Amino acid sequence: MNKKQIEAKKLVDKDQYSLDEALVLLPKISTSKFAGSIEMTINLKLNEKQKKEPVRGSITFPNAFGEQIRVLALVEKGDEETAKKAGADFVGLEEYVKKIEKENWMDFDIVITTPKVMPQIAKLGKYIGRKGLMPNPKNQTVTTELEKVIKQYKQGKKDYKKDDSDTIRIILGKTDMGADQVKANFEEFKKAIKPHFEKLGPDSIKNVFLAPTMGPSLKIAVGELK
């Protein structure tokens, strides 16, 4: 452990923090030489019935951050112009399907398509499915509203979901953003996730942590999400 890490750990002097306290402290305990991400981790405590309840969705934060999302639009000829105008980085169908299959091409962050194209790209599941990139109606990456959805992702739309360990992870911002900006993003996520927690019940949240890319984690009061 280097000197910077030791100093950062000393600053964490409480077992639990309010959201406001944590957002002030996070930039101070970040030990990276760059502006790190602020990631929230929500650990759930679920019974067998609750485990079957899907928790996933997407959100466009009021305060954008991070690198531009590279959008691959797999669409038929008639939709190509719409996808290009909306800002998709790569637009086409057969040539990109072959590129992924033959060259293991993965220079994109999100794949957006239409319902009528889905049967033609189902075979891509074994290539991009394991990376969580297969289009899915639940996060609107299978859509008839190409222009709207592509623009949302280009503006910073983020996906979230409960993984196999009953954990939800989402990046709320960067350590060089203002605390009020990250808090606004937190509140937007809180609104988006609320219906899921209402289904799962008030005691479904085990604990919540905020952490920079490099640096110690801060435990947040569970009540901040309720």
Average pLDDT, the chain: 93
Residue 60 has pLDDT above 90, yes or no: no
Residue 68 has pLDDT above 80, yes or no: no
pLDDT at 155: 82
Residues of the chain with CATH 3.40.50.790: 71-155
Question: 190 or 2: which carries more pLDDT confidence?
Answer: 190
Kindly give the pairing relationship between strand 37-44 and strand 205-212.
antiparallel
pLDDT at 51: 93
Residue 67 has pLDDT above 80, yes or no: no
In the structure, what pLDDT confidence band is assigned to residue 217 with cuts at 50, 70 and 90?
very high
Q: Which tens digit of pLDDT belongs to each residue from 102-146?
A: 999 999 989 999 999 999 999 999 999 888 899 999 889 999 999
Residues of the chain with CATH 3.30.190.20: 13-64+158-225
Q: Does domain 13-64+158-225 have CATH number 3.40.50.1980?
A: no
pLDDT at 58: 87
* Partners of 157 in beta bridges: 60
In the structure, what pLDDT confidence band is assigned to residue 16 with cuts at 50, 70 and 90?
very high
> Where does 71-155 sit in CATH, by number?
3.40.50.790
For Cα atoms 159, 128, 61, give the angle at the middle one, nearest 5 degrees: 15
Could you tell me which residues come within 8 angstroms of residue 212 by beta carbon, excluding any fewer than 6 positions away?
A: 26, 27, 29, 30, 31, 32, 36, 37, 38, 39, 175
DSSP annotation string for 38-55: EEEEEEE---HHHHTS--
Of all residues in the chain, the percent with pLDDT exceeding 90 is 80
